Structure 1
Amino acid sequence: MFSLPIRVYWEDTDAGGVVYHAQYVAFLERARTEWMRAHGHGQERLRREHDLVFAVRAMVVDFLRPARLDDLLEVSAGLLQCRRASAVFGQEIRRGGERLLTAQVRVAALEAGSFRPRPIPEPLYGQLKALESGADTGIGA
């Protein structure tokens, strides 16, 4: 599974030094973006070459433990399922070996110009399909 290190800064926290819940969504987004880039599909390239963007359609997040100021987090992303016009990612945030958060994120494929749903173009679909892990994220566990 792909993993992105992220340091928690003051701007990520509330007045008590605990990561604000909405900031976790930004951490998850960065990891999915870097996962795509690591597989040769940066967002600008997808837009330019395929007229394609991905937008979050649904998200299930299980907050298990808080992250705090100065923590070094590992934010992971893996493709669980790729369909013709959507994909589902499994994600986790860990601090050391401790799991802080699990998430399952469904993204929809959209035409970049109109933001209308569209199928993922070949051969991109085939490349993403080959990267499916099908692994369980542990949501609800």
Structure 2
Amino acid sequence: MRVVLQRVSEASVTIDGQVHGAINHGLLVLLGITVEDTQEDIDWLVNKIAGMRIFSDQDGKMNLNISDVNGNALVVSQFTLYGSTKKGNRPSFINAAKPDVAIPLYESFVSTLSRKLDKTIPTGIFGADMKVALVNDGPVTILIDSKNKE
């Protein structure tokens, strides 16, 4: 499982011209799922995201996590995080999980993160054509892969 975390001052996801999910200060979480992922990957990533000290303290140092700043999270599925560019110029997405595997894991990720942060988590819609808007704060962008824990 892979995530791209972006510290944002605001973010939203629009589907068919309607805002489906939006947050102010917090994290935009772009989530990619592969066939090898399990609840163990979800639990590890959620703990990592919740503990990630990427928000500034009173001295301007990145020392605070999302809960410390009462931040929100917006989760958007993004199978393209598993795009392989090894051959040719068109990415291959064979490592991305198909919907029958990915949707239950995506839903479990969202509910696990919601419980961890004790907040409702707005989302996109899995597989929809989404327009994601954000104001990256910093900018701060962090890549995390549950298969690279070491």
Task: Sort the TM-score into its range (normalised by shorter chain).
Answer: under 0.3
The one of the two structures with greater contact order (alpha-carbon pairs below 8 A, sep at least 6) is: 2
The TM-score normalised by the length of structure 2 is 0.25
